[in-house]
C-alpha cells in the first residue's frame, strides 16, 4: 500500500516536470471581448489549436482597466501575453511605455490595404494595432415589442416616455422606464455632450469641459431623471442591462459588445441612432473606436512568425464573417462591402450611427479625461453639486490629473 502511494507520488511529480508546450510555440492573448464574442473567440481558438500541432493559442479575458494596467506592468517586466486585444485608446499608452511592437515592418502594405481606414491604428507614425472590428461605439437599442416606433428626437422620447414609465404595482416606484443607460460612466455622457455641441478636448489635447454645452448636457440628463422621470433613479451598467433584458426599459444606450446578449435574453431588439434633442438639431455623436490586436514588444524573433500568423488569422475574412453574425462591424473592406453586411438592417443602422459618431482621440490624456470627468459627473447625478459646478469640477479634475501624472 505504502509502495503504491510512493509510486503514485513519483508519477505525479514526474508529470509535474513534463513540459506541456514542448516543441510548440505558445501564443497567449489577453482580450476584452464580452459574452457572445468571448464565447466565439474561445470556440475559434479551440478549433485553431486542433488544426495546428506546432503552436498553442491561449486566450484570457480581462476587464478593460485590468487588461491595460496588467499588460503594461507585465510587459515592462519583460513578460506578458504575445498578443493583446482592446480598444484603440490603449495604443498611445502602450506606445509610450514601449510595451507593444510597431507592426509596419511585420506586415506587407498589401495586408494593411485590405482594411478600412479605421482598421489600422497608428500613433505618432507607428502602426500599432490591427483591428478586427469597429467595436467601441454607443447606439440606441430599442425593444421593438415595447417601442415599435422609435422616436425621431429626444423631445418626442420624453413625451412618449412619460406615458410609458409607470408604477404598475402601486409601490410608489416606476416599474418600467422609457430608456436607460449606465450614467455613472462618462463614456456614456459623450453622446449628450456632443448633441449640445461640446467635446472633451481641443486639437492640442487640452480639456474643454467647463463649457455651456457640458452644463446643458448634464442638465438635460438630470431633467430626464428628476423632471420627466423617464430614466431610473440609479443606473450603472448592470442595472441598465437587467432592466432592458427584463423588458422593464423600452430602450438602452449601449455598445456592440452587448447586442448578442439581448438576443440570447429573448429581447426583440433593433438598433437605431441616438436621436437629436429635437428634429433637425445636431446628431449626438458617440465616440467611435476600433478594437484590435497589438503585439507585445517582448515577443522573441523566433516566435514572431507564428504570432504574426495567429494575428492574421484572428483578423481574417473568415473570422470577421463569423463576427458579422454577432452584429459586429468588420474592418476588412471586402467584408464591409459584402451583402452579408450591406443587406443586414441592424448593421446598416449601426454603420449609420458610426458615421454620426466621432473618432475617439488616441491621446494618452484620454485616461485622465475619463477619470477626471467621472467623479464630478457622479456628484452631479447624486445631487451633491449643480450642473455648473459639475462642469467646472470636470475641467479642474482633468487638468489636475494631467499635471499630477507628470510628477
Partner 1 sequence: MATTVLETSTTPVPETANKPPRKAGMTEKTRVRLFLAVLLGPTLFIVLAVVAYPFFYNVVLSLSNMNIYHIRDWELIGPQQYVSVVMEPLFWTIFGKTILWTAVNVFFHVSLGVMLAVLLHQAFVKGKPAWRILLILPWALPQYITALTWRGMFNYEYGAVNLVLTKYMNLPAVEWLTSPFEAFCAAILTNIWLGFPFMMVIALGGLQSIPSALYEAADVDGASAWSKFWNITLPMLKPVMIPAITLGTVWTFNNVNVIWLVSNGGEPADQTHILVSYVYEAAFFMYRFGWAAALSMVIFLILFLFTQVLLKRTGATD
Residues that bind partner 1 (CB under 8 A): 65, 69, 72, 76, 93, 96-98, 171-173, 184, 232-234, 236, 239, 242, 364, 367-368, 371, 374-376, 378-379, 381-384, 401, 404-407
In the complex with partner 1, which residue's Cβ is closer, 239 or 308?
A: 239
Q: Which helix (DSSP H) or strand (DSSP E) does residue 97 occupy?
A: none
Angle between the N-to-C axes of helices 317-324 and 35-51, in degrees from 0 to 180, rounded to the nearest 10: 150
In the complex with partner 1, which residue's Cβ is closer, 56 or 379?
A: 379
In the complex with partner 1, which residue's Cβ is closer, 172 or 345?
A: 172
DSSP helix/strand/coil, 319:
helix
In whole angstroms, how close is the CB of 45 to partner 1 at the nearest point?
A: 28
Query: CB–CB of 86/68 below 8 Å?
Result: yes
- Residue among 140, 148, 327 at smallest CA distance from 251: 140
In whole angstroms, how close is the CB of 381 to partner 1 at the nearest point?
A: 7
In whole angstroms, how close is the CB of 298 to partner 1 at the nearest point?
A: 13
In the complex with partner 1, which residue's Cβ is closer, 251 or 394?
A: 394
Q: How many CB atoms lie within 10 A of CB 383?
A: 10
**Cα–Cα distance, 405 to 397 (Å, whole number):** 12
In whole angstroms, how close is the CB of 308 to partner 1 at the nearest point?
A: 25
In the complex with partner 1, which residue's Cβ is closer, 14 or 407?
A: 407
In whole angstroms, how close is the CB of 3 to partner 1 at the nearest point?
A: 30
Record the cell numbers describing residue 4, joined without a space: 503504491
In the complex with partner 1, which residue's Cβ is closer, 97 or 153?
A: 97
**Dihedral sign computed on CA atoms, order 28, 33, 39, 45:** negative
In the complex with partner 1, which residue's Cβ is closer, 233 or 355?
A: 233
In whole angstroms, how close is the CB of 382 to partner 1 at the nearest point?
A: 4
In whole angstroms, how close is the CB of 290 to partner 1 at the nearest point?
A: 22
**Cα–Cα distance, 351 to 272 (Å, whole number):** 10
Cα 11 to its chain centre, rounded Å, is 47
DSSP 238-290: HHHHHHHHTT-EEEEEE-GGGHHHHHHTT--EEEEPPPPSSTTSPPP--EEEE
Query: CB–CB of 107/294 below 8 Å?
Result: no
Amino acid at each position: 500500500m505504502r509502495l503504491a502511494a510512493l509510486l503514485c507520488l513519483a508519477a505525479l511529480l514526474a508529470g509535474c516536470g513534463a513540459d506541456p508546450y514542448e516543441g510548440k510555440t505558445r501564443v497567449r492573448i489577453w482580450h476584452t471581448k464580452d459574452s457572445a464574442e468571448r464565447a466565439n473567440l474561445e470556440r475559434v481558438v479551440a478549433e485553431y489549436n486542433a488544426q495546428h500541432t506546432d503552436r498553442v493559442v491561449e486566450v484570457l479575458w480581462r476587464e478593460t482597466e485590468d487588461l491595460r494596467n496588467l499588460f503594461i506592468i507585465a510587459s515592462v517586466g519583460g513578460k506578458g501575453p504575445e498578443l493583446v486585444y482592446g480598444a484603440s485608446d490603449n495604443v498611445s499608452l502602450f506606445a509610450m511605455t514601449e510595451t507593444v511592437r510597431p507592426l509596419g515592418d511585420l506586415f506587407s502594405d498589401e495586408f494593411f490595404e485590405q482594411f478600412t481606414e479605421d482598421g489600422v491604428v497608428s500613433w505618432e507614425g507607428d502602426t500599432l494595432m490591427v483591428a478586427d472590428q469597429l467595436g467601441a461605439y454607443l447606439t440606441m437599442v430599442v425593444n421593438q415589442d415595447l417601442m415599435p416606433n422609435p422616436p425621431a428626437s429626444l423631445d418626442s422620447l420624453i413625451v412618449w416616455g412619460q406615458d410609458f414609465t409607470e408604477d404598475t404595482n402601486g409601490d410608489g416606484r416606476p416599474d418600467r422606464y422609457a430608456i436607460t443607460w449606465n450614467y455613472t460612466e462618462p463614456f456614456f455622457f459623450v453622446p449628450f455632450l456632443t448633441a449640445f455641441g461640446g467635446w472633451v478636448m481641443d486639437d492640442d489635447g487640452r480639456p474643454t469641459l467647463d463649457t455651456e454645452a457640458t452644463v446643458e448636457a448634464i442638465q438635460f440628463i438630470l431633467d430626464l431623471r428628476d423632471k420627466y422621470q423617464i430614466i431610473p433613479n440609479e443606473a450603472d451598467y448592470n442595472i441598465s442591462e437587467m432592466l432592458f433584458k427584463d423588458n422593464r426599459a423600452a430602450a438602452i444606450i449601449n455598445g456592440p459588445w452587448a447586442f448578442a446578449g439581448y438576443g440570447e435574453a429573448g429581447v426583440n431588439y433593433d438598433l437605431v441612432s441616438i436621436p437629436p434633442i429635437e428634429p433637425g438639431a445636431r446628431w449626438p455623436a458617440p465616440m467611435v473606436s476600433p478594437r484590435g490586436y497589438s503585439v507585445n514588444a517582448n515577443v522573441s524573433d523566433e516566435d514572431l512568425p507564428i504570432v504574426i500568423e495567429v494575428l492574421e488569422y484572428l483578423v481574417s475574412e473568415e473570422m470577421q464573417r463569423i463576427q458579422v453574425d454577432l452584429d459586429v462591424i468588420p474592418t476588412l473592406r471586402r467584408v464591409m462591402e459584402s451583402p452579408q453586411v450591406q443587406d443586414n438592417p441592424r448593421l446598416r443602422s449601426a454603420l449609420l450611427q458610426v458615421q454620426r459618431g466621432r473618432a475617439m482621440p488616441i491621446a494618452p490624456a484620454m485616461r485622465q479625461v475619463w477619470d477626471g470627468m467621472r467623479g464630478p459627473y457622479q456628484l452631479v447625478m447624486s445631487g451633491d453639486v449643480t450642473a455648473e459646478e459639475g462642469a467646472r469640477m470636470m475641467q479642474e479634475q482633468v487638468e489636475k490629473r494631467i499635471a499630477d501624472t507628470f510628477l
